[in-house]
Amino acid sequence: MSSTPALAVKDLAFAYPDGHQALFGVNLNVAPGERLAILGPNGAGKTTLVMHLNGIHGAQHGSVEVDGIEINVTDKAALKEIRSRVGLVFQDPDDQLFMPTVFEDVAFGPRNMGVAPAAVEERVTSALALVGMAQFADRPPHHLSFGQRRRVAVATVLAMNPSILVLDEPSSNLDPASRRELAQILTDLPITLLMVTHDLPFAYELCERSVILAEGTIVSDGGTGEILRDRPLLERYRLELPKGFVL
């Protein structure tokens, strides 16, 4: 395994234009192939953090490196490369699906990157197969269920052949069957995975490591089971396991 982290966040701080300080010196290393859950209460800075991982936000202080390459939002060519390596799946799939058909949505990214037509078709077919949506290639996305649209949103990112997959609340608003299907899809992907979630059992199922982010800084970092067994820690940061859930 490479000694270079898949992701290295160093002293990352960020404030919004209204003066709200969202991140205060975040430090985080993620190894290639690792699966990490980012936990924390609302307003902790979780989404702000992940929006730095592919250059949607630029670091105001500190740095973010992907495969040893520092993200520089002013270098458009380098930023394009970073966005091909780090795939971000938003909480609402409708933020990523806007084309007439599922195929066109999944093809959009590779086409925008200048991938040859034959290779685009191959990437789309492969990505849809990975999420179990190959038979829906010609369907309009708005005719799909919410769970199916979320799987297509994942496919739009996988078609870019990223080395890191970042998901914001992937299990939110899913029925139990859709949640189980998505968990199996994500489990089978051979990829570095980061997941922002309030769904602690989902984090336990998919991620061997978790961090808790609170008030813009990482306050706990360890094995997911270890963190979830620490009830005082969970209570301190307003995290709760479902009643009856046993680790």
pLDDT tens for the 247 residues of the chain, in order:
457 999 999 999 999 999 999 999 999 999 999 999 999 998 899 999 999 999 999 999 999 999 999 999 888 888 888 988 999 999 999 999 999 999 999 999 999 989 999 999 999 999 999 999 999 999 999 999 999 999 999 999 999 999 999 999 999 999 999 999 999 999 999 999 999 999 999 999 999 999 999 999 999 999 999 999 999 999 999 999 998 888 8
End-to-end CA distance of the chain: 30
pLDDT of residue 9: 97
pLDDT of residue 3: 77
Q: How far is CA 201 from CA 178, 183, 207, in A?
A: 15, 11, 10
pLDDT of residue 243: 86
Q: Rounded to an integer, what distance in angstroms lies between the CA atom of residue 51 and that of residue 90?
A: 10
Burial call 197-227: b when 16+ CB within 10 Å, e when fewer? bbbbbbbbbbbebbbbbbebbbebeeebeeb
Instruction: Let me know the angle formed at the C-alpha of 167 by 127 and 124, rounded to the nearest 5 degrees.
Output: 10
Lookup result for tokens 């980012």? 38
The helix/strand/coil state of 33 is coil
The tens digit of pLDDT for each residue in 55-97 reads 999 999 999 999 999 999 888 888 888 988 999 999 999 999 9
pLDDT of residue 2: 56
Q: Rounded to an integer, what distance in angstroms lies between the CA atom of residue 28 and that of residue 64?
A: 9
Q: Enumerate domains of the chain plus CATH numbers.
A: 34-58+86-236 (3.40.50.300)
DSSP annotation of 242 reads P
pLDDT of residue 188: 92
Q: Please name which of 87, 54, 89 lies closest in space to residue 73, comparing C-alpha atoms.
A: 54
